[in-house]
Structure 1
Amino acid sequence: MGDSTLTVEHLIRAPALQLRVLAGHRGLDRSVSWAHVSELEDPTPWLLGAEIIMTTGIGVPRDPDAQRAYLERLDDAGVAALALSAGLHVPPLSPAFFAAAEERGFPVLEVPLAVPFIAIAQEVAAAVQEDQRQRLGAQLQVFGALRWIASEGLDPAGLFRRLERLSGYDVYLSTPQGRPLLPGVPVPPPTVPLPTSADTAPTIPGGFVLPVPAPDGPAGFLVALEREGARPAGLAVVQHIATVAALQVAMVRSERETLRRQGAETLAELLQDVLDPAAARRRLARMGLPPGADVVLIAVRRAPEEAVVQALDEFPHLMLRHHETLFVLAPHLVAGPGGAERLPVYEAARLRDIPGIAAGVSRPLAQGDPLRIARREALWAASRAAESGQPLVAYGEDPMGRWLPDDVNVLSDLVEHVLGDVLRYDAEHGSQLLVSVRTWMERDRRLEDAAKALHIHANTLAYRLRRFGALTGRDLTTTADFAEVWLAIRAAEQLGVASGGPAPGEEHARRDRRPG
């Protein structure tokens, strides 16, 4: 056999065993790890895979459908072949049994009565013993993986490439949802289904799949597929690799948590405008943002922070919780699924799909630029998302917003000049004049529709419109006054005061309205 792995065909060729292939010739290249006698109708709970199951036939069902199910169970468990003793208790084998063996390429062998099962077991054991030294060496070198990390500074991609060479497997890692678990380590091919439970048997056709343990449950799964031309080192080595993967996941999570804290501190300083542009760019580069790439500020409301963190996990970002708003600074454009195209980060991360989310996105800006305007844009867009029921609004999608100036003082003067008395009246009386007029305008001045949206009688809305006109001195039936009021309302929304009460970002806007 030389250095090649023991296969079913090697045993067929052994003259002393006199084995005859009854069905499943296509699977003679299956590797064999052990030979085991079982007279159970379902021995699969006690198997690891790649065994030859030898039986006198006591556990083989007589019913054709049950025979087929028996064979399929063995094949699904990764059994290498079924060896049946001739002339003892094997019932007549049905065409359905042989058809299943041919369909699956599952070898069914006949053992002459003169050949004891122990002879097959000894042949397999001798071949396996030859392989033990190589497997032990692989295990010892896998144990040394932590030393490589410490002494050579290997990243996950380099570490697992080395483990692949030692183990004889192609190694893949993924989260339970099929996303990358460690940077640089590929996810399994789509032809390999991931388990739905950590308790699933480890054997799959051509290799193993094992959970990667973590304190809060499996962090993901490791898939090890036998590499053509290599000598697979076995399940024990794959289990050691899964342990190394768990340690790497813990290290990466710790590093990410450190970066997340540093990112929150940096974003807080950027929002307070206390970092000069050069220092800001250096900080963002350390956080992993691509140098020179435009960024966007995202304001998120009404969504679990864990869901946002998970959605953005693949993309460099800074995140800060401020009261009820979660701020995120991220590259504007990132590689989409498969890296085939570049998408806005909020589209690639599928933020819209988070249940209940109301998020607003600023216009793109250069790294290091002050975030004062971007903060206002993101908060305004998040408010529009919350009011309209949309999951996400990007600033600039509203064409009217393009005509409003960026200067906070100019916007504040417009709001005060047109809406100041109304805002104060609403604050003092707990009324909703501004909200009512805005709703009426948004519904193209249809009184009944607006009243229904506000859950009030049309006469009540008509009174509020008259009261608004009296306080502002504007006649909403004229085009000029209507346009001025509409622009003032949009300016108030950008400043976060359009709801008639304190809104996130209002205090910040007030500070920016200081004279000069």
Structure 2
Amino acid sequence: MAGNKTAKLTVEDLLSFPALQLRVLAGEAGLARSVSWAHVSELEDPTPWLLGAEVIMTTGLAVPRSAAGQRAYLERLDDAGVSALAISAQLHVPPLHDAFTAAAEERGMPLLEVPLAVPFIAVAQEVAAAVQEDARQRLGAQLQVFGALRWLASEDLDTAQLFRRLERLSGYQVHLCTPQGRPLLPGVPVPPDPAVLPASVDAAPTIPGGFAVPVLTPGGTAGFLVAFEREGARPAGLAVVQHIATVAALQVAMVRHERETLRREGAEILAELLQDVLDPAVARRRLHRLSIAGEAALLVVRGVVDEVLLPVLDEYPHLLLSRGEDRYVLGPPELGEAVAALPGVAAGMSRPFPPGESLRVAQRESLWAASRAEGSGRPLVRYGSDTTGRWLPDDPAVLGALVEHVLGEVLRYDAAHDAALLLSTRTWMDRDRRTEAAAAALHIHPNTLTYRLRRFSALSGRDLSATAAFTEVWLAIRAADQLGLTGDGGAR
């Protein structure tokens, strides 16, 4: 926590006070650390009650006797942001091990000795007197930061402008992120190193070089605010950082409200587009107003809950509509890759199309692709990426004749017996004829799948071990998908 000597009190400044007669035992590299307070503590672990930048003074009662204990004690204090450890000469100080002073040297943590003739209160008084000017500056910064909401209302600042002004007043470089490290508010950067994020909202706020505090909203912890001291600035302290976190929480609530309003409006527009009741020109205007002006694609997303899906969608302009277990998403084509990265997802994406175009074709394409994604275990299938379909004719009558010729008996058997011979065979083909993987996807025993494959072969009259028969069955299944005869290719 390097400091600017002209702006704040440092450990080195304390050494220059003749009345204190302090001596450096180890950790001289950390003499530039800033000091905000000096306090006596005989606790082996005082860190839950520290804010950072304190000089901790002890008569030695707090110092463990073992080498490992002494090293751990010093490391705890340093991790909590303590500026220096001051130990009274003689009194109750146990023998100091080499591991103790070595840790101070490694971490640049000043280890000071206070002469027996100098009372701890003298050190505390010198620190208090020296930081009075800094305290007045902090109070002024607090009063100005408390006016942040007034600026927001009266000057119409956007989020980025608001937080840049808060940075100038507070003396901190401000970062915001979700608990997973993703951006929390537009225009405010995430921390450069996610390792600084606390493990929980109850963790101590002090981190090396600043503070990390939770951003609490009615729905829970929205994320964390990380504030690093700016070089040459005069940081205003934890109280100001906590108030900035409150401003961030209010901003998050406002952004969420705006997003929910847009999401409801977008769902209504997408429903009208899917019903094909909007004039193309009207559709283009509405999509443009919602920032969907370029080429778009329609996705059908399955297998993922809204709590996981929405944060990803919010990073792109999009429309979202829920229909049963399906989530219809209209947005830029690159949204497909972001959705595909979600765990457990099965998504199908249509071919890209100009905004305002009818979604009838895109809906069939995305539904078919989503069913292919489910059947193959892939997170994302783009319609048209599977070249098998190019070998099929476009004429529905021809497709129907192929399905009847190859799969007719199987389809009738499945319908009469509520069986799943066709689904089982298609899943087995999608898994590249790996029986164990296909059985796991179907949640059945491999022996059950083997029986179903034999039954399919008997009804269809096709030996699936023969290349010609396998190809014919595969093309017929694709034709049945396009005609919506498999139960997965049509609209739900």
Q: TM-score, normalised by structure 2?
A: 0.87
Task: Describe how 1:197-216 pairs up with structure 2 within 5 A.
Answer: 197-216=200-219
The question of 1:10 aligning with 2:6 is answered: no
- Report the counterpart of residue 236 of structure 1 in structure 2: 239
CA shift in 2, pair 1:452/1:496, >3 Å: farther
Residue 465 of structure 1 deviates from its aligned partner by: 1.5
C-alpha contact 1:311 1:351 (8 A) present in aligned 2: no
- Report the counterpart of residue 414 of structure 1 in structure 2: 398
The question of 1:351 aligning with 2:340 is answered: yes
Question: 2:347 & 2:148 partners in 1: Cα distance?
Answer: 43
CA shift in 2, pair 1:95/1:271, >3 Å: same
- Report the counterpart of residue 302 of structure 2 in structure 1: 301
C-alpha contact 1:495 1:506 (8 A) present in aligned 2: no
Matched residue SS, 1:68? helix
Residue 300 of structure 1 deviates from its aligned partner by: 1.6
CA shift in 2, pair 1:478/1:306, >3 Å: closer
Structure 2 gap segments, 5+ residues each:
439-445
What is the aligned counterpart of 1:64 among 59, 63, 67? Answer: 67
Matched residue SS, 1:254? helix
Residue 388 of structure 1 deviates from its aligned partner by: 2.2
Question: 2:14 & 2:140 partners in 1: Cα distance?
Answer: 26
Question: 1:91 & 1:166 partners in 2: Cα distance?
Answer: 45
Task: Describe how 1:315-464 pairs up with structure 2 within 5 A.
Answer: 315-333=316-334, 345-347=335-337, 349-355=338-344, 357-404=345-392, 411-419=395-403, 422=408, 425=412, 429-430=416-417, 435=422, 439=426, 442=429, 454-456=449-451, 460-464=455-459
1:435 partner letter: L
Residue 206 of structure 1 deviates from its aligned partner by: 1.0
Q: What do residues 98-126 of structure 1 show as CA deviations (whole Å, max 9, x unaligned)?
A: 11110010011122222222221111111
CA shift in 2, pair 1:426/1:306, >3 Å: farther
Q: What do residues 58-87 of structure 1 show as CA deviations (whole Å, max 9, x unaligned)?
A: 222232222222211211111111112223
C-alpha contact 2:42 2:62 (8 A) present in aligned 1: yes
Q: What do residues 31-72 of structure 1 show as CA deviations (whole Å, max 9, x unaligned)?
A: 111110122222222222111111222222232222222211
Matched residue SS, 1:386? helix
What is the aligned counterpart of 1:175 among 168, 174, 178? Answer: 178
Question: 1:134 & 1:261 partners in 2: Cα distance?
Answer: 46
CA shift in 2, pair 1:264/1:90, >3 Å: same
Q: What do residues 359-390 of structure 1 show as CA deviations (whole Å, max 9, x unaligned)?
A: 11111111221111111111111111222232
The question of 1:104 aligning with 2:104 is answered: no
CA shift in 2, pair 1:380/1:94, >3 Å: same
Q: What do residues 330-386 of structure 1 show as CA deviations (whole Å, max 9, x unaligned)?
A: 1013xxxxxxxxxxx222x1524422x321111111122111111111111111122
Question: 2:28 & 2:384 partners in 1: Cα distance?
Answer: 66
Matched residue SS, 2:248? helix
Structure 1 gap segments, 5+ residues each:
334-344, 469-476, 508-516
Question: 1:147 & 1:103 partners in 2: Cα distance?
Answer: 47
Stretch of structure 1 that moved more, 448-457 or 11-20: 448-457
Question: 1:16 & 1:478 partners in 2: Cα distance?
Answer: 96
The question of 1:76 aligning with 2:79 is answered: yes
Residue 486 of structure 1 deviates from its aligned partner by: 6.0
Residue 12 of structure 1 deviates from its aligned partner by: 1.1
Count of aligned pairs between the two proteins? 475
Task: Describe how 1:256-267 pairs up with structure 2 within 5 A.
Answer: 256-267=259-270
Q: TM-score, normalised by structure 1?
A: 0.83
C-alpha contact 2:196 2:212 (8 A) present in aligned 1: no
Question: 2:181 & 2:47 partners in 1: Cα distance?
Answer: 27
CA shift in 2, pair 1:386/1:109, >3 Å: same
Pairwise CA RMSD: 3.3
Matched residue SS, 1:101? helix
C-alpha contact 1:277 1:369 (8 A) present in aligned 2: yes
C-alpha contact 2:402 2:476 (8 A) present in aligned 1: yes
Matched residue SS, 2:145? helix
- Report the counterpart of residue 52 of structure 1 in structure 2: 55
